Amino acid sequence: MHTDETAPGSHAMPRLPRFLVAVLPVVAVAVSASLVTQPSIPTWYAGLQKPGFTPPNWAFPFAWTLLYAMMAYALWRILSLPENRPGRSTAIVAFFVQLALNGLWSFAFFGGKSPLAGLVVIAALIVAIIATIRAFWRLDRAAGLLLVPYLAWVAYATVLNGTIWQLNG
């Protein structure tokens, strides 16, 4: 008979694979989003009417670097839990759904030069982040809390995105 410690799947993912799974997808999204976003900043984005509460362009890479690091660390904490822990797989899936939507937003807003498409994606992203926070919180409160600043930033970005759409629609 197996105890919880010896049951198949009761161990956490080894450190190196855990690190790679937590960091590489986040970096891939960050880099691909940046590659799509950067060419549009001095051209299309610069020509848009923006509200007075728009942060300076330099603030975005700083904020996103910090948020992406917190996201990767939150996922690393969840991956550190035993593989058979109830809710762990669901939490990991939720994380990757929100991460995909995060990357998709840059392609919709900047790549597609469409504030409306960006608004549709970011609304789904808010829902996905909330679901991820809830799933992480049940397993590891620190992991859930690490995503709260991300939710706050994306909520702010949603208002900014919606206002840009209204001003330029």
Phi-psi region of 98 (alpha: psi -120 to 50; beta: other; left: phi over 0): alpha
Q: What is the pLDDT of residues 114-133, one digit of tens each?
A: 999 999 999 999 999 999 99
Whether residue 7 lies inside any domain: the answer is: no
Q: Which residues contact 139 (CB under 8 A, 6 or more apart)?
A: 78, 81, 85, 87, 88, 91
Whether residue 158 lies inside any domain: the answer is: yes
What's the pTM value of the predicted model, to 2 decimals? 0.91
Whether residue 165 contacts residue 115, with contact meaning beta carbons closer than 8 Å, is answered with yes
Whether residue 5 lies inside any domain: the answer is: no
Whether residue 85 lies inside any domain: the answer is: yes
Whether residue 82 lies inside any domain: the answer is: yes
pLDDT band with cut points at 50, 70 and 90 for residue 9: low
Whether residue 142 lies inside any domain: the answer is: yes
Report the pLDDT value the prediction gives residue 2, as an integer from 0 to 100. Answer: 38
Residue 65 is part of a domain; what is its CATH number? Answer: 1.20.1260
Nearest partner of 123 among 93, 99, 154, 84, judged by Cα: 154
Whether residue 149 lies inside any domain: the answer is: yes
Report the pLDDT value the prediction gives residue 1, as an integer from 0 to 100. Answer: 41
Q: What is the pLDDT of residues 16-70, one digit of tens each?
A: 899 999 999 999 999 999 999 999 999 999 999 999 999 999 999 999 999 999 9
Domain extent, residue 115, equals: 17-43+57-168
Count the domains in the chain: 1
Whether residue 9 lies inside any domain: the answer is: no
Q: What DSSP character marks residue 82?
A: -
